């Protein structure tokens, strides 16, 4: 099928997933000190999180409408249609900037089919949504049907995660300084997920890291539809030993053995900090009726 599928660098697309032609990822930049990374310069996952452990405070930038327009234009000029899967509108203004770019390009290329959707996902959740869209295209699905099927799947794409350091959530306004200090002293680990609106929501507060990791498994067991999952993704902020622990527990509790681990990329990791762990999979829905709010 002659159409491109694109997404944003926030997708943290795992290298161990199949790689596809006519698939492009819009790069996004982040800054550490006076150095900008993400396009001409890159850091490995471990290098990035080591800089944070050593005191760096990375900052991130949005995808601008101009940058998006310049990224998409050559794809359309070459005669391709386009399906773009965008970072959640509930987490970033990048979505609106890309909407503006797409509107401009629709006027410039009226003969092209151009679709974009709000993934309402983050990190490898966005990447997994792109993977299923790419797989559908390879199986011959039209761009129109793929857009509609991806819209349906996004509301079942579950992400559950627990951070290790509340001070990074404090920086992003998720918790107060008082709550961050108290939580760190008491080893309280929040359990968060990406909700139906594509925003972060806190559903539990758990004492102790190991219990928090086991809670990820518990939530997955409650939600997962096994037959709809080609793969389970464990996405992490440089904690490989705990990845292995989580893999063993996923296999033990679900019987699913196709499990891929992947680093949380620098754009998302700038806000979560080292030690964050997440499970990403297709579930029956992404609704949690008993959302709990972290103390402000």
**pLDDT tens readout for residues 190-221:** 888 999 999 988 888 898 999 999 999 999 99
CA distance 93 to 87: 9
Say if residues 224 and 216 touch (Cβ distance below 8 Å). no
Beta bridge partners of residue 116, listed in sequence order: 84
Evaluate if residue 69 carries a pLDDT over 90. yes
| Contact partners, residue 233, CB within 8 Å, separation at least 6 | 14, 124, 127, 128, 259, 260, 261, 262, 279, 280, 281
The sheet carrying 23-26 orders its strands as 23-26, 3-8, 81-86, 114-118
**pLDDT (0 to 100) of residue 177:** 67
Measured CA angle at 100 (ends 118, 66), to 5 deg: 115
What pLDDT is attached to residue 189? 83
Instruction: Name the residue with tokens 């987490």.
Output: 91
By CB atoms closer than 10 A (0-12, 13-18, 19+), residue 56 is: middle
Q: What is the pLDDT of residues 155-193, one digit of tens each?
A: 999 999 998 876 666 665 656 666 666 566 667 788 889
> Cα(129)–Cα(131) distance, rounded to whole angstroms?
5
């Amino acid at each position: 099928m002659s159409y491109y599928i694109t997404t944003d660098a926030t997708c943290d697309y795992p290298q161990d997933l199949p790689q596809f032609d006519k698939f492009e990822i819009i790069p996004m930049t982040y800054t550490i000190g006076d150095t900008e990374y993400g396009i001409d310069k890159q850091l490995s996952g471990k290098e990035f999180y080591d800089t944070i452990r050593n005191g760096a405070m990375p900052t991130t930038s949005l995808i601008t409408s101009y940058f998006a327009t310049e990224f998409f234009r050559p794809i359309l000029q070459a005669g391709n249609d386009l399906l773009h899967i965008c970072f959640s509108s509930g987490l970033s203004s990048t979505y609106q900037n890309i909407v503006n770019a797409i509107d401009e390009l629709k006027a410039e290329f009226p003969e092209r089919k151009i679709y974009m959707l709000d993934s309402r996902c983050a990190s490898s959740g966005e990447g997994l949504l792109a993977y299923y869209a790419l797989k559908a295209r390879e199986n011959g699905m039209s761009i129109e049907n793929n857009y509609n099927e991806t819209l349906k799947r996004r509301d079942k794409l579950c992400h559950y995660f627990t951070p290790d350091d509340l001070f990074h959530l404090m920086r992003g306004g998720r918790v107060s300084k008082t709550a961050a200090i108290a939580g760190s002293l008491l080893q309280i680990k929040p359990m968060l997920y990406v909700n139906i609106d594509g925003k972060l929501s806190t559903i539990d507060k758990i004492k102790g890291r190991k219990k928090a990791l086991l809670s990820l498994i518990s939530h997955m067991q409650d939600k997962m539809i096994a037959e709809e999952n080609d793969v389970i993704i464990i996405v992490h902020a440089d904690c490989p030993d705990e990845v292995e622990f989580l893999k063993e527990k996923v296999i033990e509790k679900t019987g699913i053995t196709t499990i891929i681990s992947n680093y949380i990329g620098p754009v998302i990791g700038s806000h979560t900090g080292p030690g964050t762990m997440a499970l990403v999979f297709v579930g029956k829905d992404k609704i949690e009726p008993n959302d709990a709010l972290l103390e402000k």
